[in-house]
Amino acid sequence: MPENFKPLQWTDELATGVDVIDKQHKMLINILNDANRCFRDRGDRELQKKVIDDLLSYTVYHFDTEEELMETSGLGDISPDDELKHIHEHRAFTGKAREYQSAVHDGNSIDYESVFSFLNGWLVNHVMGTDKKLGAFLNSK
Ligand SMILES: [Fe+2]
């Protein structure tokens, strides 16, 4: 199995210390792993559409939760650059995922190894860096 299709595994290293965020990250990992498997196994087109749609809608829901927490905690007033950078990273993920979603829906072939290499890598890097920093800020309040 290519390296990129190794399922992501939740570990305590990924914990931000904020319950709602950690629960959603676990869910996101499951959904991303399902999507990885579907494309790896060349699931039929309808299933591919469903997994990419599910991935995107859960991601948007999750980003909304984090961005709401940034808003209510006053992060934007204290560290506007951190808030902007965080939101910018979220948009990079949804932008890329939407490109893939359109390709799947239009029936275009996609290089799914590079797709999931990007999405998996993004998730781990983002959680380990940006989200943990947000978690530390929220827990300091
Ligand atoms: Fe985030």
CA distance 125 to 61: 19
Q: Is residue 5 in a domain? A: no
- Residue 6 in any domain: the answer is no
**What residues have CB less than 8 Å from 9, skipping those under 6 apart?**
29
CATH code for position 96: 1.20.120.50
136 C-alpha to center of ligand 1: Å?
13
SS3 content of the chain, % helix, strand, coil (to 5): 80, 0, 20
Residue 42 lies in a domain: yes
Q: How far is the CA of 44 from the centre of ligand 1 (A)?
A: 31
- pLDDT of 10 > 90? The answer is yes
**Pair of tokens at residue 49:** 């559409």
**Cβ–Cβ < 8 Å for 77, 129:** no
- Give residue 62 CA to ligand 1 midpoint distance, Å: 8
Q: Report CA(102)–ligand 1 centroid distance (Å).
A: 23
Cα of 133 from ligand 1 centre, angstroms: 10
How far the first Cα of the chain sits from its last, in Å, is 44
107 CA from centroid of ligand 1 (Å)? 30
What range does the domain containing 27 cover?
A: 18-139
Q: Is residue 103 in some structural domain?
A: yes
Mean pLDDT of all residues in 29-46: 88
Q: How many domains does the chain have?
A: 1
Taking CA atoms, 18 is separated from 23, 26, 65, 127, in Å, by 9, 12, 12, 12
135's tokens: 């978690």
**pLDDT at position 2 over 60:** no
CA of 106 to the centre of ligand 1 (A): 29
- Evaluate whether residue 12 is within a structural domain: no
Q: Is residue 2 part of a domain?
A: no
* Region 23-34 average pLDDT: 96
Tell whether the model's pLDDT for residue 84 goes beyond 50.
Answer: yes
So what's the pLDDT on residue 1?
A: 43
Q: Identify the pLDDT of residue 39.
A: 85
Residue 13: inside a domain, yes or no? no
Neighbours of 3 (CB within 10 A): 8
| Ligand 1 centroid, distance to 38 Cα (angstroms) | 25
State pLDDT tens for residues 38-60. Answer: 888 877 889 999 999 999 999 99
In a domain, 55, yes or no: yes
Give the pTM. Answer: 0.91
Which 3 state secondary structure label does DSSP give 9?
A: coil
Average pLDDT, the chain: 92
Distance of CA 77 from the midpoint of ligand 1 (Å): 18
